[in-house]
Amino acid sequence: MGKLRVGILGGTGMVGQRFISLLENHPWFEVVAVAASPRSAGKTYEEAVGARWKMATPMPENVKKLIVMNVNDVAEVSKKVDFVFSAVDMTKDEIKAIEEAYAKAETPVVSNNSAHRWTPDVPMLVPELNPEHLEVIEAQKKRLGTKRGFIVVKPNCSIQSYTPALHALREFGPKLVVATTYQAISGAGKNFADWPEMVDNVIPYIGGEEEKSEQEPLRIWGKVENGQIVKADGPVITTQCIRVPVTDGHTAAVFVNFEKKPTKEQILKAWAEFKGIPQELNLPSAPKQFIKYFEEDNRPQAKLDRDYENGMGICLGRLREDTVFDYKFVGLSHNTVRGAAGGGVLTAELLKAQGYITEK
């Protein structure tokens, strides 16, 4: 079997670059098309990105000479690929329209964008947590009038640092969650060179982030009814989201009350044993141990631990009882790997393994 042919929409931006670096030598997927804005179209990928390559590893040789296509030439891009990853930088309405256009051109879309996260028949997936939501794809295809085209999205990067930890404890009924996230600058698509104001600084506001952090876990925990995803009623989640001078890695300080308070040993056992379909299927990008708990008081740390399991694992620490809440703990996830492009790649692997994405 040959590799599936992949296109990257918005391939010149930071998340697009991360997709390209993660897909180098991927066993199932091969990047054959890169699409971006009209100003980049017609240039080689190397020329279009120029000095803006932000990954720690060099630009893969196999993409340097690819001619960047106009992302609006939906039919032309679709001819070349079996499916696309979407990381386009447009308005929400423009993203909605262009992703639906690709789906209607019978090209499945795995999106890193937020535009379709609340479209009722579009799954918003963390592959280990809610793979059953993929069943709404059939209803979505009926709405779009497609045979193989559809859209699947991944959730906001901020929630990955604490939602898997809470998901693993659902048998105990988390009912109230307070989380403060300390988010890396790459979450804004920047590094210190283009955001010098972040050096020696903390900004206590990230537009739209708190609403996403409070609501998106409820959609992940929602249920499928009549071809739509109905969000869960609880737990109640309140958050603050703060930008901190860290290159990569979102940290969360979490407080939680339960319906049935577990012991510390029960919590640690649930975290250690938690796995999902990606682990059972041994998907190429799946972390072997999804959740890792550190006993040391000063871990997890973004600089030391964000690359755990190639950036696809979740790191937890400092679990202890609290004087107001039942428990508190600290979480960490890599925001541009697990929280963005890596989560998208793992989603595509699950879609392939379950027969949703095939060769055209």
Residues involved in catalysis: 157, 250
CB 301 within 8 A of CB 278: no
Q: Which residues of 339-350 are buried (b: 16+ CB within 10 A; e: fewer)?
A: bbbbbbbbbbbb
Token pair 């640690």 is found at: 268
Neighbouring-strand partners of residue 330: 253, 317
Task: Show the CA angle centred on residue 220, arms to residues 218 and 171, nearest 5°.
Answer: 80
> H or E stretch including 353?
helix 342-353
Note whether 138 and 226 are within 8 A (CB).
no
Distance between alpha carbon 109 and the CA centroid of its chain, in Å? 14
> Rounded distance, CA 254 to CA 269, Å?
18
Of the candidates 261, 244, 254, 259, which has an alpha carbon nearest to the alpha carbon of residue 315?
Answer: 254
Closest CA to 216 of 179, 268, 169: 179
